[in-house]
Amino acid sequence: MPEEVVIVFTAKSVERIIREGGTSSWRLKPSHARRCRIAVCTRNANADWVEGMEDHHSAFLVGKISNVVPCLPTPGNDEAAKNRYLIQFSEFARVNIPNCWAGDRNPIVYRSLGNLGIDLSTLKWEPMTKSNGEPEPSNDVTPIQALGVNPLTMAEAKRGLALTFNVPPEAIEITIRG
């Protein structure tokens, strides 16, 4: 069976994708995207906020997928991140493949790597760099890691909230709805 890759149609620049740790803000089924080893970023040059200079519909970046994680909202926009994900890369390669995007209505599709004309063995792979500093201000969603948010145990969360509200940890009740 041919290897399936995830292809995204994005207006974000290479620099922003690298800074965010991958391609973000996608509505997708994480389990499906995690089955893919490779993501291909194609240019949406018609967006009114386009950041890159690549030709419309061309592939400009290929990433080796390391994980698919939820995004968090940016300050003042809690609803924007609902069901949106960051496809994290461990490595990336710059490419220039014209007319790689087929004009699908959905900005994220799954296709066979062989149909794209990309030979992974010929690409010059670069390691992803870690984000250094605050997330870029945007009206978009921000990956959890860019905000510096780390997982907590219930005990840690209760202790922190108890300090914030000046009550004993036993007075804190946490309800999780999923």
* Whether residue 132 sits in one domain with residue 105: yes
The DSSP code sequence of 38-66 is: EEEEEE-TTSTT----SPTT-EEEEEEEE
Q: Which of 150, 170, 172 is nearest to 161 (CA)?
A: 172
Q: What is the pLDDT of residue 59?
A: 96
Asked if residues 40 and 115 have their Cβ atoms less than 8 Å apart, the reply is no
* Whether residue 139 sits in one domain with residue 119: yes
* Whether residue 57 sits in one domain with residue 36: yes
* Whether residue 154 sits in one domain with residue 112: no
pLDDT digits (tens, 9 = 90+) for 125-155: 999 975 543 334 444 445 554 455 566 788 8
* Whether residue 99 sits in one domain with residue 13: yes
Enter the tokens of residue 28: 């997708």
* Whether residue 102 sits in one domain with residue 158: no
Number of domains in the chain: 2
pLDDT digits (tens, 9 = 90+) for 38-76: 999 999 999 999 998 999 999 999 999 999 998 876 666
163 is in which domain, residue-wise?
148-178
Q: What is the pLDDT of residue 73?
A: 67
Q: What is the mean pLDDT of the chain?
A: 84
* Whether residue 152 sits in one domain with residue 127: no
The number of angstroms, rounded, from the C-alpha of 95 to the middle of its chain's C-alpha atoms is: 19
For residue 14, pLDDT over 90 is answered with yes
* Whether residue 121 sits in one domain with residue 160: no
